[in-house]
Amino acid sequence: MEKQNNIKISEVDISDLIPDDKNFNKGNEFGESLIEKSFNKFGAGRSVLIDKNNRLIAGNKSTEKFSAQGGQKVVIIETDGDTLVAVKRNDIDLDSSIGREMALADNASAKANIVFDAELIEAELTEAVAVEWGVINSGKGIKGNFDDEGIAGKNQFGVIVICGNDAEQEKIFKELTNLGYSCKVVVT
């Protein structure tokens, strides 16, 4: 273990990280495919957040995909919240095409893979906390991507798009989910 300015750095196996059994993000197939594609193309590029017991606070889906693709090493940097931790990729220049694509992939995969578990949010947090973090608008319904149920007692609004065939349906579904909409595929 290395120690610099009261910061402890250690390397552990990915199996030492414990997933959040109450993760508010259910994710979705498309978003998870983008995370997988990003790991395949760029490798690891950002950190995840764990608590003092190695339980994941943020980055559950990334950790899961990294492990599924054979990733094993995790570098832990212990801090108390007063230090911003930056991951430096010494093989990437932001102003290169790969650097710009990596930035886009990071944002696109994060946005596409958010599907809030409304039932769990209701069980674990107050409405005031959900409003504070922009998950719902107080008295005005849900905001963002939610699972099928939405927030209990909140209105949900939707639009049905009639498509000519399954290829068109898939294309429109991907376009809308890329824009951040929570969508369902329906065949009648």
SS3 159: coil
The better pLDDT of the pair 10, 185 is held by 10
pLDDT in tens, 122-133: 889 888 888 888
> What are the residues facing 116 on neighbouring strands?
25, 146
Find, among 92, 187, 179, 104, the residue nearest to 144 by Cα.
Answer: 179
Sign of the C-alpha dihedral, residues 106, 116, 52, 32? negative
Q: Give the list of residues 6+ apart from residue 141 with CB closer than 8 angstroms, or none.
A: 150, 151, 154, 155, 156, 157
Per-residue pLDDT at 75: 97
pLDDT in tens, 28-65: 999 999 999 999 999 999 999 999 999 999 999 999 99
Q: What are phi and psi of 125, to 5 degrees?
A: -130, 160
Q: Residue 21's Cα: distance from chain center in Å?
A: 15
Residues in the chain: 188
Question: Over the chain, what is the mean pLDDT?
Answer: 86
Find, among 52, 163, 64, the residue nearest to 113 by Cα.
Answer: 64
* Encoded tokens for 139: 């008295």
Q: Find where tokens 């832990």 sit.
A: 76
- Confidence band for 180, pLDDT divided at 50, 70 and 90: confident
- Confidence band for 67, pLDDT divided at 50, 70 and 90: very high
